[in-house]
Amino acid sequence: MRETSYLQKQPYFGAVVGRVANRIAKGTFTLDGKEYKLAINNGPNSLHGGVRGFDKVLWTPRMLSNGVQFSRVSPDGEEGYPGELKVWVTYMLDGGELMINYRAQASRTTPVNLTNHSYFNLAGQGSPNIYDHEVIIEADAFLPVDETLIPTGEVAPVQGTAFDLRKPVELGKHLQDFHLNGFDHNFCLKGSKEKHFCAWVRHAGSGRLLEVYTTQPGVQFYTGNFLDGALKGKGGAVYPKHSGFCLETQNWPDAVNQPHFPPVLLRPGEEYDHTTWFKFSVA
């Protein structure tokens, strides 16, 4: 029963997302001269791996001393993607820091972009919105999008725009000042594949602080714009618009169709290996 209700309608609460997180324009891409057609499940586009993405399949768990590893094999042709993909996602808890490592190996060249889609509200379970959260995102550029939320191809400086989050902004006031419906955009991080600072979120009322570090080149900052209060969580809490935020560390959206974006293709013999750290504290 629980599995059935999750598969019916869930906005990816807490899920691993793949084979390719975020959107691929018109659900198509061309690789080595062959066009691949993916499931269309978000307007005219393919989102988060398709109709039955990595969030809607069973994984094999393996217990670790301070964590758990989940693995699965995505078969050749799953949701339209080429090649078999072996995937391992490892969660490790060290004090107040949660580390998530993603590894993958492909039998044929395929795009791969894995992320975690957890929603956070640092005010606590059942809090109605995130307007009193302060946010920093360490990005000098972001990706403008079209009306279907596909990047236009421009890599735009954040300077002088609503997307300049390099110094703390209070979310509710910031959305109001710039007349924004919310954020659902990729912020362009440092190109380094080493661990680097990504984002900082603080809830002043409780003193709770979340810091995010990653090896990825981007992060999708999403403010729960499509939450509508229809779902009930623990304690009967509902999740209306702007009741949670996501920091989805990732490669840039639609990179498979945008050659000047960071490379998203995984080839046989290579290993996809990325890590994100969520560090929680009280300040």
Read out DSSP for 132-163? TEEEEE--SEE--B-TTS-B-S--EE-TTSTT
Instruction: Pull the structure tokens for residue 137.
Output: 């995102």
154 is catalytic: no
State the residue for tokens 């989050």: 165
| Structural contact between residues 135 and 168, judged by C-beta atoms closer than 8 angstroms | yes
117 is catalytic: yes
Count of alpha carbons within 13 Å of 1, Cβ hemisphere only?
0
Instruction: Kindly name the residue from 48, 78, 79, 117 that is annotated as catalytic.
Output: 117
Q: Would you say the C-alpha torsion 229, 232, 236, 237 has a positive or negative sign?
A: negative
Helix (H, G, I), strand (E, B) or coil at 5: helix
In DSSP terms, which residues pair with 250 in a beta bridge? 218
Which candidate, 57, 81, 117, 61, places its Cα nearest to that of 249?
Answer: 117
Angle CA(249)–CA(251)–CA(257) in degrees, nearest 5? 150
Overall size of the chain counted in residues: 283
Instruction: State how far the alpha carbon of 92 is from the alpha carbons of 58, 100, 102, 200, 215, in Å.
Output: 20, 7, 12, 20, 16
Which candidate, 11, 8, 14, 18, places its Cα nearest to that of 74?
Answer: 18
| Structural contact between residues 175 and 165, judged by C-beta atoms closer than 8 angstroms | no
Instruction: State how far the alpha carbon of 16 is from the alpha carbons of 1, 20, 100, 117, 213, in Å.
Output: 21, 11, 10, 6, 17
Instruction: Kindly name the residue from 78, 134, 211, 248 that is annotated as catalytic.
Output: 248
Instruction: Give the residue numbers marked as catalytic.
Output: 117, 248
